[in-house]
Amino acid sequence: MASGGVCLLSGSFKEGFGKEVSPYRRLLAAIDNSYMSARVFERALILSQSSCSILYAVNVIQTKLPYAKTSPVALEPAYYDLMRAASKELFEVAIKRGKAVGVEVEPVQLEGDPAEEILKFAHDNDVDLIVVGSKDKIGSVKNLGSASSRIAVEAKCAVLIER
């Protein structure tokens, strides 16, 4: 046991120093039209700017209502038209904001389950870091949204949860 009551595993921490750590080349910011989403995007912009990486701004249009897993509820086609229009406006703002700070922002609109679609896109596009938001509450993992929780657990790359 080390001094001060701290026990280090043999060589595990010390041996990690000096090892190659890849920079983030592809970042994914999961965005929607919320205040937290704007914070997520700003964090991703900062990280993307410092690592000269591409930033995917991903917006997922849900095709099922939340909590309707056992009995699918058909949504009106007008809902999708509204959501696509809102997504287009969101992307215009994101691209403009990216250009202002010198970051290439690639908008990506997906449809389906948000967590599932984000995880699939991240895997298919070799994303190095996913930036997602938590609920606007402060606390433990149980205060994460279901999509954020699932992404944090299942992602094959690094995940940053903005609070």
Q: What is the DSSP letter of 11?
A: T
- 3-class DSSP state for residue 146? helix
pLDDT in tens, 12-55: 667 777 777 778 999 999 999 999 999 999 999 999 998 888 99
Domains of the chain by start residue, with CATH: 26-162 (3.40.50.620)
Give the pTM. 0.82
Of the candidates 129, 162, 133, 163, which has an alpha carbon nearest to the alpha carbon of residue 53? 129
For 61, the token pair is 């249009």
Task: Confirm if 60 and 122 have CB atoms less than 8 A apart.
Answer: no
Confidence of residue 142 (pLDDT cuts 50, 70, 90): very low
Compute the residue count for the chain.
Answer: 163
Radius of gyration for the alpha carbons in the chain, expressed in angstroms and rounded: 19
What average pLDDT does range 121-138 have in this prediction? 87
Q: What pLDDT score does 152 carry?
A: 94
